[in-house]
Structure 1
């Protein structure tokens, strides 16, 4: 399962041994060497409680409504390190020195903790694409202290997420419209086909009546002559 980084923020962290809420996710810490989630900064309950660190290795599961960990003792003190990164707001440059955009959020594989894509915004993104653009993990070269460096030709690997979603929605609408049109057309044909025999039956009944009258006259010509004499 993959989640946007913003999905983690505010999620409660629950220990499975005591069924206790240990706090809520405040921010994410990234390991620049492995380009993956190192752990979560947890805000404890209470005004005077200090933030704690939950290593990703001790995360049992990440769900839609909570993060779980096996033990209530999984939380650690936060150790400041120059190796820790927070990606939001970091600029991304290509190795040719071209500005690609600024990281707004990123997609995480909840099982492995790996960063899958970076979601960028900026003037270049707005000029080339509509809205945010995704830069895949394979396009990243270095996650430095000040900027993230992308490989040569990274511009060509940018994809427009919103356009892709719109195209998918458009495709679904077109297919649905075709199905509806086909259903309406078939309904019309069925209705016409159902009414036609009814009309034909009326014609057939009239024809049969005339045939019967003609047959009676042919079989009983004397009766017909008698009726004519009476009329005269």
Structure 2
């Protein structure tokens, strides 16, 4: 079985739709919501998530998606030892069906699995950013990854300790995970998913300037180091 980790900031009803669908399937060991310092107005949504059967952890202040993910990994390692983890966004982009597909692939392979989105369906700003990072990532690591910025990711249980050691506090953390995985030769699998962009992805908390800088800096630094990743195990 798998635990689903949903990092959330100012969540709306889409969190409840996804969490409710996952809990209703009976196909997951648990659903963990980590609220990253949302305003009091989000309290009813978080209380409703708990009412659906989710475990809800809350940061008293906003600390960043990377910290929220690490909080979740730490809790899952203690409360659900030996369980794989699938991380998904709480803004309505991901369906329960795709979460379960990624979970199944992770369980079958024992590898990290990325849910790869259809680029043709992305809003223009997301498509441009993903194309640029995909090209730079391959140039830096020599490894082709179709979607470096996807939030739907499956991780095997034995990587949870390592995931907590990867540096990064905000959106750059997920890029760092891929860079460090490439350096260490960790296998990365991919499955194609259907992604819904509501209102041209207006609910995203990604900052086009600040967060893009955080993502590109470690990528460029990695490329400049001229480190060649080791052979995959």
Query: Normalised by the shorter chain, which TM-score bucket?
Result: under 0.3
Which has more radius of gyration? Answer: 1
TM-score normalised by the chain length of structure 2: 0.26
The normalised TM-score by structure 1 is 0.26
Greater share of helix: 2
